């Protein structure tokens, strides 16, 4: 099935690149974005190659060469999926702009098709890489221990890509907004703004390449966690429990393709419907295809994407039922998959409610903007904090239900923990289409920027703005999905670590346990502080540069002179690559130090603390950021005074605060949670009682 996904990626890539690119001005702008994105990612990957080589060497020395091979393959596959997604996105942006000239639906189709390439490449590369490793080492009893290295490699790349790309994109975005919108009063994506190209580059390196690597890691980690726990408790039937998460992922490829088809296909009104089974099947498919007209509201667009995800979820339930029956495992494990899917869709719905501008929470922020920036920030934080309640309850219920179903199926707590991991696999089983709904957003955002810079007719920008607003909501939904699955996967990885480290009892009265929990709970806050500070530093440099150019380049404000876009791109690149190293290293070094100094029990406590506080902080930051962003867009539709009003200026301030929340620190936390867990699992056998054994 992984090969089927790769064939689809190649076919869809050729299809997207065949669309028209517009006039010479549009092509020139798109080319500048392509060059900036490629330059950043090439430099970032050169730095990461040194890190990957060093870690692989350490693994060979202290563990096994097989784990090092898996680590290298995971890193390369993760980087490859991110790079491919970015390659398509920076070429689909101008094609989406041109398509939006013809209509809203065609613009959605082109942008979504590029997102589908990202989604399908992530799941296909991951599934293929782990399958190859499993076949390569299947005769070795330590096979699954080696494959954890694949997850380690994927997590390492994901964290650096997410942090580095997030710093780049938000530094450029904040700098462009503060000077362009607030100080100079010019529109978003105005070609006179020196940071506008850096802003558009950032959308791709952060929200496409970084996000692709992020969800590659989530997807791989969930399968590895389930397979590892399946091997631990399965006994004579271990083979079936190990294979089940891989089989769920395989049928997920088919389900994701069906969900994608609903958006990217065109309805055929002349499709013949006869009595034959094939005709009926084609008619059913045709009836599912989305049909968007020019007057479609944000709610209509959201409904279309919801329908796509729900249809894929319905199909995965049918296919996984057959998979469970053929595998010979207990029927309860199909119910566990259902629990995971329901939890994922529930989290997506809650996230959508708190971030869509058609709903009261975001509109309440827009209302607060009428009294200034202070109340905007207060209300946004309130909405973000309130939005944590239901995701926590949803995940808690999913964990309890999964454990109960697992124990009822096979009579042990180990089976219950396996069921939790399987719920995480179920939650991500339709990742191909859910990631497509996320990855299309930056393409639509870039398309709007190109429309503005190329001075296209207002109706084109109106259509791209509609797609961009949809993208903001689906991006927030995708982050909620990733964070929820991260908790389930991290819990399963902690359980696998406890088993691998041979910890017999997790006792809060153990003298090192509580310090470990406290250190773990502190880590997400330290990590977020470092990444937010990094954005602030880089944004400061961008603000100073943009101000300098407006002051020193005669005719820039009047539009008779061109800005120096390249300098802003270079400042964002340098700042991001410099500032990403320390936060990224913390996720690897702190678990190792804790394990060796405080001992393996303290490390288990640390993982529990990190998972708990990281979950809450990540949800709050992602949803507050999305709500601030869409509150600004709600005002830009004409509410609360519209563009240029005092309320709009306050909303821009809220958006600039929310940007690093939702696109840098927040989404990176779910990687932090899993990377710390998988590092602990990989090195589990090396930890002892530490220096403070009482």
Please state the domain extents for the chain. Answer: 2-686
Contact 407, 415 (CB under 8 A): yes
Q: Across residues 60-80, what is the average pLDDT?
A: 87
Whole-number pLDDT of residue 284 = 58
265 CB-contact burial (10 Å; exposed 0-12 / middle 13-18 / buried 19+): middle
pLDDT confidence of residue 389? 93
User: In the predicted model, is pLDDT for residue 381 greater than 90?
Assistant: yes
**Is residue 275's pLDDT more than 60?**
no
**High-pLDDT (> 70) share of the chain, %:** 93
Residue pLDDT, tens place only, 602-657: 898 999 999 999 999 999 998 999 899 889 888 988 888 888 788 988 998 898 88
How far is Cα 432 from Cα 657, in angstroms, rounded to an integer?
31
Do 301 and 466 form a contact (C-beta atoms < 8 A)? yes
**Taking residues 384-410, what's their average pLDDT?**
91
Name the DSSP letter for residue 331: T
Stronger pLDDT, 67 or 499, i.e. the higher one: 67
Q: Minimal CA–CA distance to 369: which of 581, 652, 117?
A: 652
Burial class (CB in 10 A: 0-12, 13-18, 19+), 62: exposed
Mean pLDDT calculated for residue range 565-571: 83
Please give the Cα distance from 466 to 415 (Å, whole number). Answer: 46
pLDDT at 394: 92
d(CA 347, CA 474): 12
pLDDT tens digits for range 113-140: 888 898 899 889 888 988 888 888 878 7
pTM attached to this predicted model: 0.84
pLDDT exceeds 90 at position 386: yes
Structure tokens at 417: 């923990």
d(CA 250, CA 257) in angstroms, rounded, equals: 12
Whole-angstrom Cα distance, residue 661 to residue 532? 8
pLDDT at 298: 66
Q: Supply 41's token pair.
A: 């990612």
Under a CB-based contact definition with an 8 Å cutoff, are residues 181 and 174 in contact?
no
Assess whether pLDDT exceeds 80 at residue 299: no
Q: Does 507 have pLDDT greater than 90?
A: no
Helix (H) or strand (E) holding 266: none
* Burial of residue 397, with CB atoms counted within 10 A of its CB: 0-12 exposed, 13-18 middle, 19 or more buried: middle
Query: Does the pLDDT of residue 533 top 90, yes or no?
Result: no
What percentage of the chain carries pLDDT values higher than 90?
12
């Amino acid at each position: 099935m992984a090969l089927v996904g790769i064939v689809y990626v190649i076919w869809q890539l050729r299809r997207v690149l065949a669309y028209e690119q517009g006039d010479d001005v549009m092509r020139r702008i798109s080319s500048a974005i392509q060059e900036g994105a490629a330059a950043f990612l090439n430099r970032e990957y050169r730095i990461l190659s040194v890190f990957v080589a060093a870690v692989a060497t350490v693994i060979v020395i202290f563990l096994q060469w097989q784990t090092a091979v898996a680590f290298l393959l995971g890193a390369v596959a993760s980087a490859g999926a991110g790079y491919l997604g970015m390659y398509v996105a920076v070429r689909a942006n101008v094609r989406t702009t041109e398509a939006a000239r013809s209509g809203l639906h065609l613009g959605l189709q082109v942008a979504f098709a590029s997102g589908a390439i990202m989604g399908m490449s992530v799941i296909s590369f991951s599934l293929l890489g782990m399958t190859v490793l499993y076949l390569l080492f299947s005769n070795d009893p330590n096979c699954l221990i080696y494959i954890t290295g694949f997850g380690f490699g994927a997590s390492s790349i994901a964290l650096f890509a997410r942090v580095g790309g997030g710093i780049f994109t938000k530094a450029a975005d904040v700098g462009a907004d503060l000077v362009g919108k607030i100080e100079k009063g010019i529109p978003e994506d105005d070609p006179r703004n020196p940071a506008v190209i850096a802003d558009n580059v950032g959308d791709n390196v952060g929200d496409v390449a970084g996000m692709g690597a992020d969800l590659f890691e989530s997807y791989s980690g969930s399968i590895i966690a389930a397979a590892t726990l399946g091997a631990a408790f399965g006994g004579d039937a271990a083979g079936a429990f190990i294979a089940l998460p891989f089989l769920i992922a395989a049928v997920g490829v088919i389900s994701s393709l069906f969900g994608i088809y609903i958006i990217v296909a065109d309805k055929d009104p002349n499709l013949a419907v006869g009595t034959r089974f094939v005709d009926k099947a084609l008619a059913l498919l045709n009836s599912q295809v989305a049909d968007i007209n020019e007057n479609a509201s944000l709610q209509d667009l959201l409904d279309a994407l919801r329908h796509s995800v729900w249809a894929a979820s319905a199909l995965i339930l049918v296919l996984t039922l057959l998979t469970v029956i053929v595998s010979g495992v207990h029927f309860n494990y199909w119910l566990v998959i259902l629990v995971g899917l329901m939890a994922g869709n529930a989290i997506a719905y809650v996230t959508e409610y708190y971030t869509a501008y058609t709903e009261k929470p975001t509109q309440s922020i827009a209302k607060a903007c009428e009294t200034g920036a202070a109340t905007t920030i207060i209300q946004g934080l309130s909405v973000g904090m309130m939005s944590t309640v239901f995701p926590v309850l949803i995940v808690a219920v999913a964990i309890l239900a999964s454990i109960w179903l697992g124990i009822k199926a096979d009579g042990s707590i180990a089976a219950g923990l396996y069921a939790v991991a399987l719920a995480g696999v179920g939650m991500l089983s339709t990742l191909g289409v859910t990631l497509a709904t996320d990855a299309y957003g930056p393409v639509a955002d870039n398309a709007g920027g190109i429309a503005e810079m190329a001075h296209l007719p207002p109706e084109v920008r109106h259509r791209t703005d509609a797609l961009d607003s949809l993208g903001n909501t689906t991006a927030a939904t995708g982050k909620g999905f990733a964070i929820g699955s991260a908790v389930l996967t991290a819990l399963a990885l902690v359980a696998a670590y406890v088993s691998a480290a041979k910890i017999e009892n997790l006792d809060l009265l153990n003298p090192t346990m509580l310090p470990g929990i406290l250190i773990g709970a502190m880590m997400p806050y330290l990590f977020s502080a470092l990444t937010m500070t990094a954005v602030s530093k880089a944004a400061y440099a961008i603000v100073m540069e943009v101000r300098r150019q407006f002051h020193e380049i005669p005719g820039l404000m009047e539009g008779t002179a061109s800005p120096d876009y390249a300098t802003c791109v270079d400042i964002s690149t340098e700042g991001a690559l410099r500032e990403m190293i320390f936060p990224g290293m913390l996720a690897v070094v702190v678990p190792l130090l804790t394990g060796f100094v405080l001992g393996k029990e303290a490390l288990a406590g640390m993982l529990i603390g990190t998972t708990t506080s990281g979950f809450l902080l990540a949800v709050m930051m992602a949803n507050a950021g999305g709500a601030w962003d869409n509150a600004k867009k709600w005002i830009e539709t004409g509410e609360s005074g519209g563009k240029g009003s005092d309320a709009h200026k306050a909303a821009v301030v809220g958006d600039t605060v929310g940007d690093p929340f939702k696109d840098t620190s927040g989404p990176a936390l779910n990687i932090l949670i899993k990377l710390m867990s998988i590092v602990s699992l990989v090195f589990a056998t090396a930890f002892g009682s530490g220096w403070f054994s009482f």
